A and B are shown apart, each in its own frame.
Chain A
């Protein structure tokens, strides 16, 4: 697996880690203008760290669902092209705005990812959807947002088992999410994100033609 252009491994005080170039956002370590992309704090970071074939090359147009305070999406904007960040909780969005201040290609949107019609007048068709919404109905969110992906588009999703069902065995939850997702997407690769994120499944998928 090759890293996208704009993502490199750098040494941070004796520890080698993924890094991107941009203004620091969450107190991460820096090496010159490279800032550490901490896989423990980012599911996409963990997917890259696990060697999943994300297909990311750098410069992609991205729709990011569940941007929260901007930890991961700030890295995505560092190596990506136009990056649309959707988050529906106002509190973290204050920090997302700070992260977007220095990133001209990062467009913050206070919107509900279950209502794509409320941002389809702003978001253009994208190369990649990154999804990390950690809420019940994660497969449905991916299905609803499929309209933003072209035929060659990629869905990079992190599925949190406990968001679907706290009591169920994560393996069962992942099975049913995979199955539900398969109606709209062809799953290319799935992998558990342990040890970085317990009971999370990373998914790389492409939209089925309809």
Chain B
């Protein structure tokens, strides 16, 4: 006798259901919708199919992510490596700019300047040394770009809702700052709001600074694009939705397009205050 995927499961335990879909077995199929209703797992057939859709979507996207080797820890490594490459490329660019300025007198900065140095064809030994450094710098910047592309490809499988709301790169940053998707899912939204602002938070706790209104979520257009007076509210609203998204991603893996509509509406309301000309 074979059992359906739902046998003995708590209907609210999405994570267990996802595991069953992935790892369960049966020799022969059976009238699972009827059995699920009889067992009280689903209210009726429609309810059963609704649950089945949610849980097969979640299980299959998790299985895809797993088979492609993309889990939250891979994402954490990738986003940290991307940040290292970006920071190092920027630092080296400054070095190239300083050195280049001393030789060619032209001023410039950043990776773009390093790129322009790689195109020069001066033959002096010093030119060659500088050009080689510039090439390495550009290579690092390119590496950062390909890591970014990897993150953009894999974050939506690891954390679909969080990636939808935050964009894949910010989603990966938040997961990285928390130390993993599970850790992020367990943080209160007030903590999510200031993730990445640990220095400012520490200064505040020591009593010599105001409490930070936002951490890395400042890079989100909904925070940055809101006028200064309302940024705290926007950051709070965004962090709230991101926390919910992270929890759904971790515990069930369901896709919830309605979260985006909710967030859009909240932010619209906050930004509308500016037009009405009154705050609060």
Q: Footprint of B on A, CB under 8 Å? A: 82, 90-91, 93-94, 96-97, 100-101, 104-110, 117-118, 120-125, 147-148
- A121 lies within 8 A of B26 (CB): yes
- B21 lies within 8 A of A93 (CB): no
Q: A93-B64, A105-B49, A110-B64 are in contact. Are A122 and B57 (CB under 8 A)?
A: no
Measured in the bound complex, the distance between the Cα atoms of B60 and A91 in whole Å is 12
Binds A, one of B30-38, B133-141, B190-198, B213-221: B30-38
- A101 lies within 8 A of B255 (CB): yes
| Residue ID in chain A nearest B23 by CB atoms | A118
Q: List 5 A-B contacts (CB under 8 A).
A: A93-B64, A97-B57, A110-B63, A121-B5, A122-B56
- When distances are taken between beta carbons in the complex, the residues of chain B under 8 Å from A105 are 49, 53
Measured in the bound complex, the distance between the Cα atoms of B26 and A105 in whole Å is 22
- With an 8 A cutoff between CB atoms, is B102 at the interface? no
What 9 A-B pairs come out closest when comparing CB atoms? Answer: A121-B26, A120-B26, A121-B24, A107-B56, A110-B63, A90-B67, A90-B64, A108-B60, A120-B29
- When distances are taken between beta carbons in the complex, the residues of chain A under 8 Å from B157 are 94
- B26 lies within 8 A of A90 (CB): no
Measured in the bound complex, the distance between the Cα atoms of B33 and A100 in whole Å is 19
Q: Footprint of A on B, CB under 8 Å? A: 2-5, 20-21, 24-33, 49-50, 52-53, 56-57, 60-61, 63-64, 67-68, 157, 255, 257
Once A and B bind, how many residue pairs between them come within 8 Å at the CB atom? 81
- B60 lies within 8 A of A147 (CB): no
Measured in the bound complex, the distance between the Cα atoms of B255 and A122 in whole Å is 20
Q: A97-B60, A117-B25 are in contact. Are A110 and B31 (CB under 8 A)?
A: no
- A90 lies within 8 A of B68 (CB): yes
Measured in the bound complex, the distance between the Cα atoms of B253 and A97 in whole Å is 12
B23 to chain A, nearest CB (A): 9
- When distances are taken between beta carbons in the complex, the residues of chain A under 8 Å from B31 are 124-125
| Residue ID in chain A nearest B4 by CB atoms | A121
B152 to chain A, nearest CB (A): 13
- B28 lies within 8 A of A147 (CB): yes
| Residue ID in chain B nearest A84 by CB atoms | B56
- Among A93, A94, A100, A124, contact of B32 (Cβ-Cβ < 8 Å): A124
7 further A-B pairs in the complex, CB-CB below 8 A; given A108-B60, A118-B25, A125-B30: A82-B49, A93-B64, A96-B60, A101-B257, A104-B53, A105-B49, A121-B26
- A110 lies within 8 A of B67 (CB): yes
- Among B5, B29, B33, B63, contact of A148 (Cβ-Cβ < 8 Å): B29
- Among A82, A100, A125, contact of B57 (Cβ-Cβ < 8 Å): A100
Residue from A91, A93, A106 having most chain B Cβ neighbours under 10 A: A93
A89 to chain B, nearest CB (A): 9
- A122 lies within 8 A of B28 (CB): no
- When distances are taken between beta carbons in the complex, the residues of chain A under 8 Å from B64 are 90, 93-94, 97, 110
- When distances are taken between beta carbons in the complex, the residues of chain A under 8 Å from B68 are 90-91
- When distances are taken between beta carbons in the complex, the residues of chain B under 8 Å from A90 are 63-64, 67-68
Measured in the bound complex, the distance between the Cα atoms of B98 and A88 in whole Å is 54
- A108 lies within 8 A of B57 (CB): yes
- A121 lies within 8 A of B56 (CB): no
- When distances are taken between beta carbons in the complex, the residues of chain A under 8 Å from B32 are 121-124
- When distances are taken between beta carbons in the complex, the residues of chain A under 8 Å from B24 are 118, 121-122
| Residue ID in chain A nearest B49 by CB atoms | A82
Measured in the bound complex, the distance between the Cα atoms of B28 and A96 in whole Å is 25
A76 to chain B, nearest CB (A): 15
Measured in the bound complex, the distance between the Cα atoms of B28 and A147 in whole Å is 7
Residue from B25, B53, B60 having most chain A Cβ neighbours under 10 A: B60
- A147 lies within 8 A of B57 (CB): no
A85 to chain B, nearest CB (A): 9
- When distances are taken between beta carbons in the complex, the residues of chain B under 8 Å from A125 are 29-31
B60 to chain A, nearest CB (A): 5
- When distances are taken between beta carbons in the complex, the residues of chain A under 8 Å from B50 are 104
